[in-house]
Structure formats: structure tokens, C-alpha cells
Amino acid sequence: MSKSIEHNGQKFQIPNTWEEFINSMTMKNIDFKSIKRDEFNKNSILIKLIDSHFQELYKSKDFILPELKTLGNQSISIFSDYGGEHTTSKYYSYSFLFCGWDHSWYAREEFEKIRIKHSLNKKEISFKDLNYGPINRALEDYLMAINKNVFGFLLTVLVEKEINPLFLGNTNKHLLKEIEDAGLGHWKIKNAEKLMRILHIISYILPLISDSDQKIFWMTDEDSIVANKEMFKNTYKLLQNVLKIYTDNKYDLIYGAIPFKTEDVYTMDLLSITDLVAGSVEQYFTSKKTDGHPNIKEGAEKVIKWLGTHSDFLKKETVLIYQENNMIKIDGIKFNINNQ
């Protein structure tokens, strides 16, 4: 006979077996109708491609999302980092971790153990520092801890640089003026394009995995879209505006932070996985396109292999947006760990 616990005035069934627990943490039905469609045709082709790709995967039972609305999880945390800004890159990469903050709390203990074991202190685990001895030695333990202790969805979007702007192109130049007219600051076109890609991806995913009464926390990499306090403030105002395009959910609270403005190493360790993935995936595909085969730095191959590993709780998807015969297309990327 199954037992239940009460949390925040709600009763939750306690799984009897490990299989039941895994099943309880996996979304049974993904409701794509939860996303508002009345303005969908006005959205960028980027979101239309991602939406159609995920729906096709779901029909073939190849798309799975975590259940983040259960067992008392009150907050959805979003961590994001980006790659491909350097001139030699062939792609922009955008990596997002959506996770249940209350579900993933045990990851903190594992991260602390890893930091002590490898003498990391408060050193950030980053793609640029993969050749740093303690980080390189800690990497496999860190990736395993993410797989076993983080309940969430890791989405990485790779966009070919040769593609014209997806939001602020010839037909959507008005968006920049709308941003300024809304009192949300003056944005350079390149930064605004990047920001729109990021905010629309977040706003598309959130209605699929969250409820109205959940809190939303977002930590983004400290770069051109949050270069100063004014841009930081405007970025989060814009997120709330873009969310309204995709959902009528009235989230309890939306707030955010940027790296190094917090003493909480735990949030930095969650952000680090998006930094590692964004950098490794971009380098993998850029070198493959440039040299005909992947040529990545030491440590990055561990990240690529990890993307191909199974996790009961962390679902992973990587998609490639590219142009072929004057058409913009999308491919899902599956990393085969035996061939990397």
C-alpha cells in the first residue's frame, strides 16, 4: 500500500520502488497546447523550428521532459551560457539548464565533496579553464554528479553564423524600436538579436515544464546582454514581456542573478554545466566544419561524451539550426559515446 506525505497543503504519493520514483519524475504527457498559439505565427522561425522538431520527436516517443511540478517543487531555476562569439567560430551556441530547485538540492552536497576532493575551493568550473589541473581531474566526478542529482532539462541550441538575423532581420526591424519605446533601454542590433534568441527560447520552454504558482529564477552568463546594471534590469523586464507571448501563467516571482554577484558556489556549479556544454559543442561543430573532423581541447571530449550518456532525471536535447538551399532547417543531434 503506497504512502503519502503532505507538503504545502498538498498530498504526494511516496513511490514504493526506484522504478516508480523515476517514473514519478518523468512527465507523462507533454502539453504543447499550453503554449499560446494566437501570436505564434509572429514569432521567429527559430522557435517555430524548435516547436515542430520537439512535437515530431514527441509523436515518435523520443522526446521526454522532467516532471518539475510534483513533490513540492516550488521553483524552476534556469541557468544559461553561450558560446561562439570569437571570430573563428562557425556557430553561436546557447545552452540552458531548466531544473527543479527543490528537487536538485542534494547536488549541493555532491558538489561540495568534489570541490574538497580536488582542492577547487571557489574556483569556477569553466570551459576556458578545462586545462587547469584540478578542474580537469574533477570533471568526470562533476558530470556524474549532474547526471545523478539534477532534476531537469538541458537544452543546447546551435545556430549557424551564416544565417541572417532570426529576430531583427528586414521584416522585424520594428522589434528594436518596440524595445526602446517600452522604456527598456537602447540596444545594439547584435546584442538585441542575441537577447531575443535567449528570451524566446526560455519563454517557449517554461510553459511546458512549469505551473503558474511556481517561482522562476534565472542566472545568465555575465556578458554583452547584461553588461551593466541598466542592461541587467532591462533584460529581466524583457523576459517578463516575452513570456506573455507564450503563456498566461502568472508566476509567483521572477528574479535573477549574474555570476560573481553571489557568494553561493552551488548556483555557480549549476551554471557551469551550461558554460561547459556551450563551449564544447560549439568547438566540436566549428572544428568539424572547418577541418572535416572534430578537434576539441582536452576535457571537452568528456563533455561531449557525457551529452550522449543516459540520466534518469536530467533530460538532454541538442539541436542544430542551419541553412541549406536558401532554407533554414533544424536537426536533432545525438552524440554517440562509442564514437567520440
Q: What is the pLDDT of residue 40?
A: 75
In tens, the pLDDT along 149-189 reads 999 999 999 999 999 888 876 556 667 777 777 777 777 88
d(CA 113, CA 120): 10
Residues 6+ apart with CB under 8 A from 335: 304, 305, 307, 308, 318
Q: What is the pLDDT of residue 171?
A: 57
Cell numbers of 331, please?
536537426
Residue 239 has pLDDT above 80, yes or no: yes
Cell numbers of 133, please?
589541473
Share of the chain above pLDDT 90, in %: 50
Residues 6+ apart with CB under 8 A from 73: 100, 101, 102, 103, 151, 214
**Number of neighbours of residue 87 by Cβ within 10 angstroms:** 5
Taking residues 95-103, what's their average pLDDT?
Answer: 90
Residue 337 has pLDDT above 70, yes or no: no
Q: pTM of the predicted model, to two decimals?
A: 0.90
d(CA 83, CA 303): 15
d(CA 310, CA 315): 8
Q: Which residue has the cell 527559430?
A: 46
Domains in the chain: ranges and CATH? 3-333 (3.30.420.10)
For the chain, how far is it from start to end, CA to CA, in angstroms? 46
Residues 6+ apart with CB under 8 A from 106: 149
Residue 1 has pLDDT above 50, yes or no: no
DSSP for 107-167 reads HHHHHHHHHHHTT-TT----GGGTTSHHHHHHHHHHHHHHHHH--EEEEEEEEETTSPPSS
Q: How sure is the predictor about 270, in pLDDT bands with cuts at 50, 70 and 90?
A: very high
* SS3 assignment, position 182: coil
